Amino acid sequence: MPRAVYVLALGIFAMVTSEFVVAGLMPQMADGLNATIPQIGYLITAFAVAMAAGGPFLTVAVMKLPPRTALMVLFVIFLAGNVLAATATGYATMMAARIITGIASQAFFGVGISMCAQITRPEIRGRAIAVAMNGLMLGTLLGLPLSTLVGERFGWRAAFWTITAITVIAAVTTLFGVDRIERAEGGGGFGQEVGVFKKPKLWLVLSTSTLIIGATFSAFSYFNPILIDVTGFSTGTVPVLLIAYGAATVVGNNIVGRFADRHTVPVLAIGLVLNAVFLAGFALLADLPAPAVICMMGIGLVGVTMNPAMVTRVQRTGNAGPLVNTVHSSFITLGIILGSSIGAAVIDTWGLRAPLWLGAAMAVAGLATVLPDLARRSTPTTGLASYPAEEAERV
């Protein structure tokens, strides 16, 4: 595995930690910015919307640059946003900072994952993506608790300064640890990058990723109140359970990465089936502590951990260029927005178990988008079906 893949994981870790930091420090930030808790909540929404809507445009702006240069430009923009957040004296300034960092973060994902594809052989790309995506999983497992702890001990601004320091370390490591590459794969120019979106199948594949992540986040967004108000755990126990959930995502991500190259579609299908089962099981057994925790850990193993297989499928359907990967990340972010927002709406009508049922339904819908590819694998060319034509010919 090229060392650059591990370096990219560090950059992703910095981005994800910044994304989650507000969620852990809402009361402190509300006091410091003279804002309400709902207003601080909008900062989370703004970050996600900026990722989904603005990331592809920034990617287009840097896609003509060599990949390492593009990453350094994105680090600078992201760093500026974090410094602005750390020094913000008002809510409007903080909102601007979150929008800037959200856009830069999404573009970084796209360029970084594209670079992973370029510097690794086709048969190990899924594993490489899993290694890079460990930055995402570790951001959930370690980044959020770390930033929350720093913010509670030294003030919320210190949390943003800590993220700034991590970003500087990641940028310097990238500068010296990633070799210069002249052009990104699939980088035949803006026309070629955009032209791939004329494929109807690509949109179906992108929708699969939205449904997988939407199913998971419809549950994840409400684990805290479900575990406390329905299952009956104490407020002190829930953080430990969330750390265990984060550990499950790291394990699942690496397992999926091992199989994502050769068995992309079956991995997605099995993951969706299991996620639907765990989500429905959680909804049915949420009042029983042991089964609830088992189902929660199961969601961690087969939810966001589908990322390596999702990315591999998107790249094989479209290309491994930065724009395709950034748009894919936008569809993933759309899943987070849909899962969490619709989940909030159904709670008002049907209670705290409703987001779990919503997640199960989204997983089943996601499975429906995978079935056509699964059916095609039953042809005599099954062994090569997961490869693009030119790669299949080489195999």
The CATH 1.20.1250.20 domain(s) of the chain lie at 1-185, 192-395
- How far is residue 142 CA from its own chain's centroid? 15
Q: Which residues contact 160 (CB under 8 A, 6 or more apart)?
A: 18, 21, 82, 83, 85, 86
In this prediction, residue 390 carries a pLDDT of 39
d(CA 245, CA 243): 5
The class that CATH gives domain 192-395 is: mainly alpha
Question: Which residue shows structure tokens 């909804």?
Answer: 283
- 5 contacts: CB under 8 Å, gap ≥ 6: 116, 119, 120, 128, 131, 132
The architecture CATH gives domain 1-185: Up-down Bundle (1.20)
pLDDT block averages, 10 residues each, the chain of length 395: 89 90 83 87 87 92 89 96 95 96 94 88 85 86 82 91 95 88 55 85 96 94 89 88 90 93 94 98 97 97 95 91 92 91 88 95 97 76 43 39
Contacts made by residues 52-55, CB under 8 angstroms, sequence distance 24+:
52/106, 52/330, 52/331, 52/333, 52/334, 52/337, 53/330, 54/99, 54/102, 54/103, 54/106, 55/102, 55/103, 55/105, 55/106, 55/107, 55/109, 55/110, 55/326, 55/329, 55/330, 55/333
Can you give the pLDDT at residue 395? 35
The pLDDT of residue 338 = 92
- Residues 12 and 111: their CA atoms lie apart, in Å, by 11
Residue type present at position 72: M
What is the dihedral sign for C-alpha 76, 79, 84, 87? Answer: negative
Question: In sequence order, which ranges of 178-237 are alpha helices (DSSP H)?
Answer: 190-195, 200-220, 223-225
Q: Which tokens in the block code for residue 390?
A: 């030119």
